[in-house]
């Protein structure tokens, strides 16, 4: 494979400027990691600036049989962008144009390197939002959001990335450019709401973790931003009570924009960062965001939520309505992963998802497993959609890793037993691959492989990830 | 200056969340991982695992260390509060200590320049040249340039003479003016305006000070920095005065860091004020300012004002209060302008990209003037405005205020 890489790089240099290609060994360390604990050295890093660049890159890679791996901002938590097979990395951060915003038909078309925040800012002025808002939204790219089918706080109410992607442009590992979904309809001059009978390839690509091709354009749905919002900071004496409150609220047919549970350790860490004066003595914090089109509607929701909270034994509720205060609270919430460095230097974060009414039961399990293995676990949950993020914290890689891994495996199993799954939004990547057997039958895995082969017959793109 | 153990702690706190990408100006100019706090910290950490010496000689590591602006923006957004700039400073120091470091000549030049008052203008000359021609002079040009140099005499002749310029209005107290190198030689006109502004209510004497040490510090020349800092501290401690004021936010910020960096108590420094601070304090003396209904202007908050001294909000309040809607904030108005001391000269292309992005934000605010409180920023913004031929005026704060008071000098 090595000499192939040399030939491949030589060919690349004939097509592209030197500043688009990184080959120096030390500089390559910079692309050996992402936000997960894994690492692996790439053979080269290439910065495309257009769809054509990507297609040329893939055509050459296919010709020289060189393995490749796409990368956005490198913030995924599952090792998705770690080139553990020494692949050539295709880094999309310099493809960051917003190509179109259509207010009337409520869509935008962007390049994959545009960050979630940049898209939000571009549409905010018109009173719109791109609904998925992962905690990493300030820097994560739309390409990365699509590949991981990212979720966020608002997803309880608005759905995940898949629900907001209308069309895609995909370059396959053989260098073919496909226009999918509504983007193709747009090209053909059809009305984008017309019904065209084609296979829904867009949904297949969203969440495929960069194993089927590289997304070079994304057509996203724009959603009107609600006008009235309230954020409730609810304190409980017990994490499980917070979990119950979530189940009860949903059972009552109320759909908050967000419901997030944060445990005491994490509350302290983020309050050290934002200095909001969050209630530090509380064992469990439940953040609820309600939105609506009018004040009355909002107040009615609020009254019903308060009734439920009281019946469960909430110890304190702080309500934030002014937008600056709310922003600070959500900033605090989004900072959890980053602020963990304040507790211990390393962590593994899990992404298990269980049926919503099982959240309280799952929390109990996680606590027990942590105690059993002597592992410090910080718990954060997008409780509204049953998605839990236990953060397994450690300081000494060699000494503590066995316990951490044992606890992690047990948590995976417990989630599956409760009728849940391994990943809600962070992806399978390298991290969860060994556990795929827990959720897929052999026949299903074979089928996934067949799909992969249809897109990537030579098996060159992003191997040993996700499937 | 952080000790080795503290540096390790900083490094360990970074858990690679990538959040710093949103703000790091060098990243936003290149979208390259080597130009963001996460990448800088990772490479350093990696090199610690492999042993220090080898990697400090690696050009890529040297580059990531040298291309940091030390603007501290990353620390502000970092949920773990990692002080990347301090880590970078620590390793710049190590770099200098390596035998045969190519930074050695810079250290010698800087020591010569900043430890010796007579040579202070040299640095300013470099800057002057940069602004005028947008490039670094080669050594031969510099020689003739030196002999031509005549500017900046006014302030430079005054310091240390013990002469007090009396208050023009009712005297409230005495101010000692700390004369920054760049203010002294390049923006001496603006410094004089600042002094005359202060004289509306105070007697002003000029301090015969040394460079504040910022250039030495950012080079990692810690010994040289300590030397100037100690000399300045001694001078300041001897002053019989009520306030020590400087019109350079970088000087003010660096002076305020002396106690922490030297590990000494320096009660005299409690009298130190950034010009901005004393103006806020003496708000009543600005009542003549005809602020409203003026042409729109914006303010660039220098790193050393916003993060170095935590003065963004009070300054913003003052401007809002004085100028109402004539004052237009611009997007990311506290992001580094790319000047960062000598950065603008040493990493010219990268710096100019950063400045151009800043200027685009400034223009989008609809302002016709941009005002700021640090000569290095004035220089950098001015140079790029000129190169791009933008219809923008870059102004020192004191000059801007004086004009607003309806007086022409
Ligand atoms: C602090 C923090 C908080 C987070 N919070 C959330 C959260 O709330 N919700 C959530 O869902 N995730 C969260 N994440 C995980 C991560 O940020 C998301 O998965 C994000 O979508 C990744 O985007 P990225 O640009 O960093 O992609 P990368 O990490 O660079 O890549 C992720 C995957 O996508 C592939 N890929 C990237 N670009 C393309 C492309 N253009 N075409 C094809 N494949 C591509 C890569 O190969 C890789 O497999 C968080 C991460 C951090 C560090
Ligand atoms: S924001 Fe802080 S913790 Fe996150 S990558 Fe940057 S320096 Fe590291
Ligand atoms: S100090 Fe400034 S330039 Fe350096 S890493 Fe931080 S944000 Fe980037």
Residues B12 and B127 in one domain: no
Residues B358 and B238 in one domain: no
Contact residues of ligand 1, CB 6 A cut-off: A 34-35, 69-77, 80-81, 92, 112, 134-136, 140-141, 143-145, 147-148, 150-152, 209-210, 214-215, 337-338, 425-426, 462; B 17-18
Torsion angles phi and psi, residue B269, rounded to 5:
-70, -15
Decide: B68 in ligand 3 pocket, CB within 6 A: yes
Sign of the dihedral through C-alpha A118, B82, A279, A283: positive
| Strand order, beta sheet including B297-300 | B297-300, B369-372, B393-396
Residues B145 and B276 in one domain: yes
C-alpha pair distances (Å), A227 with each of A122, A292, A294:
18, 7, 7
Torsion angles phi and psi, residue B183, rounded to 5:
-60, -45
Q: Which atom of ligand 3 is nearest to the CA of B37?
A: 5
Q: Domain range spanning residue B196? A: 103-281
Domain ranges of chain A: 3-91, 98-224, 228-338, 344-438
Interface of A with B in 75-94 (CB under 8 A): 75, 93-94
Q: Does B207 score more than 90 pLDDT?
A: no
One fold for A228-338 and A344-438: yes
Sign of the dihedral through C-alpha B394, B396, B397, B402: negative
Q: Does B372 score more than 90 pLDDT?
A: yes
| Domain stop point among B69, B84, B101 | B101
Interface of A with B in 10-39 (CB under 8 A): 24, 26-27, 29-31, 33-35
* CB < 8 Å to B40, chain A: none
Question: What pLDDT digit, counting tens, does each position of A341-363 carry?
Answer: 888 888 888 889 999 888 889 99
Sign of the dihedral through C-alpha A40, A45, A49, A50: negative
How far does the centroid of ligand 2 lie from the alpha carbon of residue B222, in Å?
26
pLDDT score of A14? 95
pLDDT score of A203? 92
Residues B163 and B275 in one domain: yes
Q: What is the mean pLDDT of residues A177-190?
A: 84
Residues B269 and B292 in one domain: no
Nearest-CB residue to A29 (from B31, B46, B82): B46
Instruction: Tell which residue, A437, A435, A343, A349, has the closest CA to residue A388.
Output: A349
Residues B126 and B258 in one domain: yes
- Which of A96, A144, A338, A426 to probe by mutation at the B interface, max B CB count within 10 Å? A338
Q: Does A175 score more than 80 pLDDT?
A: yes
* CB < 8 Å to B82, chain A: 341
Structure-block tokens of residue A135: 């905690």
How far does the centroid of ligand 1 lie from the alpha carbon of residue A89, in Å?
15
Residues B312 and B165 in one domain: no
| Domain stop point among B247, B265, B281 | B281
Query: Are B77 and B19 within 8 A, CB to CB?
Result: yes
**How sure is the predictor about B408, in pLDDT bands with cuts at 50, 70 and 90?**
very low
Q: Which helix (H) or strand (E) holds A259?
A: strand A258-263
Q: What is the mean pLDDT of residues A11-23?
A: 95
Question: What pLDDT digit, counting tens, does each position of B171-184 carry?
Answer: 999 999 998 877 77
Q: What is the mean pLDDT of residues A111-119?
A: 98
| Domain stop point among B281, B310, B340 | B281
The CATH number of the structural domain formed by A344-438 is 3.30.70.2740
CATH class, A3-91 region: alpha beta
Of chain B, the percentage scoring pLDDT greater than 90 comes to 45
Question: What pLDDT digit, counting tens, does each position of B329-350 carry?
Answer: 999 999 999 987 777 777 888 8
Structure-block tokens of residue A452: 């992969």
**Contact across the interface for B55 and A139, Cβ inside 8 Å:** no
Q: Does B266 score more than 80 pLDDT?
A: yes
pLDDT score of A95? 97
Q: Does B150 score more than 70 pLDDT?
A: no
Total number of domains constituting chain B:
3
* CB < 8 Å to A30, chain B: 32-34, 39, 42-43
The CATH number of the structural domain formed by A228-338 is 3.30.70.2190
**Contact across the interface for A337 and B79, Cβ inside 8 Å:** yes
pLDDT score of B379? 87
Structure-block tokens of residue B343: 């950065």
Q: Does B407 score more than 70 pLDDT?
A: no
Instruction: Tell which one of B26, B78, B84 to mutate to probe ligand 2, the residue whose CB is within 8 A of the most ligand atoms.
Output: B78
Question: CATH no. for residue B94?
Answer: 1.10.1060.10
Q: Does A154 score more than 80 pLDDT?
A: yes
| Between A272 and B132, the higher pLDDT residue | A272
Kindly provide the ipTM of the predicted complex, given to two decimals. 0.87
Q: Is the pTM of this model over 0.90?
A: no
Range B133-163 burial, b when 16+ CB lie within 10 A, else e: eeeebeeeeeeeeeeeeeebeebbebbeeee
Question: What pLDDT digit, counting tens, does each position of B281-340 carry?
Answer: 999 888 888 777 688 999 999 999 999 999 999 999 999 999 988 999 999 999 999 987
* CATH of A98-224 among 3.90.226.10, 3.30.465.10, 3.30.10.20, 3.40.50.410: 3.30.465.10
**Contact across the interface for A26 and B14, Cβ inside 8 Å:** no
- Report the gap between the CA of B47 and the closest CA in chain A (Å): 10
Question: What pLDDT digit, counting tens, does each position of A432-449 carry?
Answer: 777 777 778 888 889 989
Is A338 an interface residue toward B (CB < 8 Å)? yes
**How sure is the predictor about B140, in pLDDT bands with cuts at 50, 70 and 90?**
very low
- Angle ∠(A111,A114,A117) on CA atoms, nearest 5: 145
Q: Does A333 score more than 80 pLDDT?
A: yes
pLDDT score of B136? 44
**How sure is the predictor about B224, in pLDDT bands with cuts at 50, 70 and 90?**
confident
C-alpha pair distances (Å), B387 with each of A285, A387, B70, B361, B380:
54, 53, 25, 17, 11
Q: Which atom of ligand 1 is nearest to the CA of A161?
A: 11
How far does the centroid of ligand 2 lie from the alpha carbon of residue B23, in Å?
11
C-alpha pair distances (Å), B386 with each of B26, B125, B130, B355, B382:
22, 18, 11, 12, 6
Residues B277 and B288 in one domain: no
Question: What pLDDT digit, counting tens, does each position of B25-37 carry?
Answer: 999 999 999 999 9
Residues B244 and B136 in one domain: yes
Residues B276 and B325 in one domain: no
* CB < 8 Å to A273, chain B: 79-81
| Between A168 and B112, the higher pLDDT residue | A168
Instruction: Tell which one of A76, A118, A154, A158 to mutate to probe ligand 1, the residue whose CB is within 8 A of the most ligand atoms.
Output: A76
Q: Is A430 exposed, middle or buried (0-12, 13-18, 19+ CB in 10 A)?
A: buried
Question: What pLDDT digit, counting tens, does each position of A196-231 carry?
Answer: 556 688 999 999 999 999 999 999 999 999 888 899
Decide: B72 in ligand 3 pocket, CB within 6 A: yes
**How sure is the predictor about B74, in pLDDT bands with cuts at 50, 70 and 90?**
very high
Q: What is the mean pLDDT of residues A228-254?
A: 90
Decide: B74 in ligand 2 pocket, CB within 6 A: yes
Residue nearest to atom 8 of ligand 3 (CA): B24
Residues B14 and B46 in one domain: yes
Q: Does A179 score more than 90 pLDDT?
A: yes
Sign of the dihedral through C-alpha A207, A211, A213, A216: positive
- Report the gap between the CA of A428 and the closest CA in chain B (Å): 18
How far does the centroid of ligand 3 lie from the alpha carbon of residue B317, in Å?
27
* CB < 8 Å to A18, chain B: none
Residues B70 and B145 in one domain: no
Query: How far is A203 from A170, CA to CA, in rounded Å?
Result: 12
Decide: B15 in ligand 2 pocket, CB within 6 A: yes
**Contact across the interface for B15 and A26, Cβ inside 8 Å:** no
């Amino acid at each position: 494979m090595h000499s192939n890489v040399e030939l491949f790089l030589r060919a690349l240099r004939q097509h592209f400027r030197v500043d688009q290609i990184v080959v120096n060994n030390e500089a390559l360390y910079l692309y050996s990691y992402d936000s997960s604990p894994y690492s692996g050295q790439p053979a080269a890093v290439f910065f495309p600036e257009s769809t054509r660049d990507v297609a040329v890159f893939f055509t050459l890679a296919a010709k020289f049989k060189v393995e490749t791996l796409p990368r956005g901002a490198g913030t995924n938590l599952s090792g998705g962008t770690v080139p553990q097979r020494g692949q050539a990395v295709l880094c999309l951060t310099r493809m960051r144009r917003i190509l179109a915003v259509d207010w009337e038909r409520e869509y935008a078309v962007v390049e994959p390197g545009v960050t979630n925040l940049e898209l939000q800012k571009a549409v905010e002025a018109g009173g719109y939002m791109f609904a998925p808002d992962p905690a990493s939204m300030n820097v994560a790219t739309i390409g990365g959001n699509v590949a991981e089918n990212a979720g966020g706080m608002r997803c309880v109410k608005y759905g995940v990335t898949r629900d907001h992607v209308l069309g895609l442009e995909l370059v396959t590992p053989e260098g073919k450019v496909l226009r999918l979904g509504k983007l193709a309809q747009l090209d053909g001059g059809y009305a984008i709401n017309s019904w065209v009978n084609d296979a829904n390839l867009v949904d297949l690509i969203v969440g495929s973790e960069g194993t089927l091709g590289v997304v070079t354009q994304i057509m996203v749905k724009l959603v009107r931003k609600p006008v009235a919002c309230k954020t409730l900071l609810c304190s409980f004496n017990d994490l499980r009570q917070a979990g119950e409150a979530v189940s009860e609220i949903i059972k009552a047919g109320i759909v908050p924009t967000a419901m997030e549970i944060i445990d005491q350790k994490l509350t302290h860490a983020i309050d050290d960062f934002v200095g909001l004066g969050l209630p530090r003595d509380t064992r469990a914090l439940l953040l609820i965001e309600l939105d609506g089109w009018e004040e009355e509607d909002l107040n009615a929701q609020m009254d019903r939520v308060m009734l439920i909270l009281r019946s469960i034994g909430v110890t304190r509720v702080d309500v934030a309505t002014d937008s600056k205060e709310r922003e600070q609270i959500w900033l605090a919430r989004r900072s959890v992963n980053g602020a963990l460095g304040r507790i211990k230097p390393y962590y593994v974060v899990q992404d298990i998802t269980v049926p919503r009414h099982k959240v309280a039961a799952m929390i109990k399990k996680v606590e027990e497993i942590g105690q059993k293995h002597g592992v410090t676990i910080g718990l954060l949950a997008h409780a509204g959609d049953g998605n839990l993020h236990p953060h397994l914290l450690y300081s000494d890689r060699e000494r503590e890793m066995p316990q951490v891994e044992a606890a992690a495996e047990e948590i995976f199993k417990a989630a599956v037993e409760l009728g849940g799954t391994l990943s809600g939004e962070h992806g399978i990547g390298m991290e969860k691959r060994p556990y795929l057997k827990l959720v897929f039958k052999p026949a299903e895995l074979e089928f996934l492989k067949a799909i992969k082969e249809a897109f990537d017959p030579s098996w060159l793109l992003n191997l040993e990830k996700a499937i | 200056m952080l000790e080795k153990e503290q540096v390790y702690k900083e490094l360990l706190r970074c858990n690679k969340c990538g959040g710093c990408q949103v703000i790091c100006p060098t990243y936003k100019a290149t979208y390259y991982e080597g130009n963001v706090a996460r990448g800088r910290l990772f490479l350093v950490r990696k090199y610690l695992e492999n042993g220090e010496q080898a990697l400090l000689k690696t050009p890529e590591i040297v580059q990531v260390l040298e291309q940091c602006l030390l603007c501290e923006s990353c620390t502000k957004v970092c949920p773990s509060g990692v002080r990347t700039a301090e880590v970078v400073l620590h390793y710049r120091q190590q770099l200098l200590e390596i035998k045969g470091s190519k930074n050695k000549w810079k250290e010698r030049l800087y020591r010569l320049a900043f430890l010796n008052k007579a040579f202070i203008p040299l640095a300013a000359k470099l800057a002057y040249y940069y602004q005028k021609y947008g490039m670094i002079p080669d050594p031969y040009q510099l020689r003739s340039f030196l002999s031509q140099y005549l500017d900046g005499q006014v302030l430079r002749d005054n310091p240390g003479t013990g002469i007090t310029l009396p208050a023009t209005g009712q005297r409230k107290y005495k101010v000692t003016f700390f004369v920054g190198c760049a203010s002294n030689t390049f923006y001496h006109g603006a410094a004089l305006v600042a002094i005359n502004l202060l004289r509306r209510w105070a007697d002003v004497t000029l301090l015969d000070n040394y460079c504040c040490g910022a250039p030495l510090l950012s080079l990692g020349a810690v010994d040289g920095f300590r030397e100037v800092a100690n000399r300045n501290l001694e001078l300041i401690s001897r002053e019989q005065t009520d306030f020590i004021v400087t019109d350079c936010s970088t000087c003010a910020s660096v002076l305020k860091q002396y106690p922490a960096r030297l590990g000494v108590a320096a009660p005299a420094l409690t009298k130190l004020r950034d010009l901005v601070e004393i103006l806020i304090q003496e708000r009543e003396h600005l009542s003549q300012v005809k602020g409203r209904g003026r042409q729109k202007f914006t303010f660039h908050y220098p790193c050393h004002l916003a993060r170095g001294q935590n003065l963004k909000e009070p300054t913003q309040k003052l401007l809002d209060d004085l100028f109402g809607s004539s004052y237009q904030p611009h997007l990311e108005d506290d992001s580094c302008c790319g000047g960062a001391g000598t950065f603008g000269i040493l990493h010219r292309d990268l710096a100019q990209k950063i400045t151009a992005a800043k200027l685009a934000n400034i223009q989008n605010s609809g302002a016709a003037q941009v005002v700021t409180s640090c000569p290095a920023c004035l220089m950098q913004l001015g140079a790029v405005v000129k190169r791009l031929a933008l219809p923008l005026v870059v102004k020192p704060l004191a000059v801007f205020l004086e004009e607003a008071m309806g007086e022409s000098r």
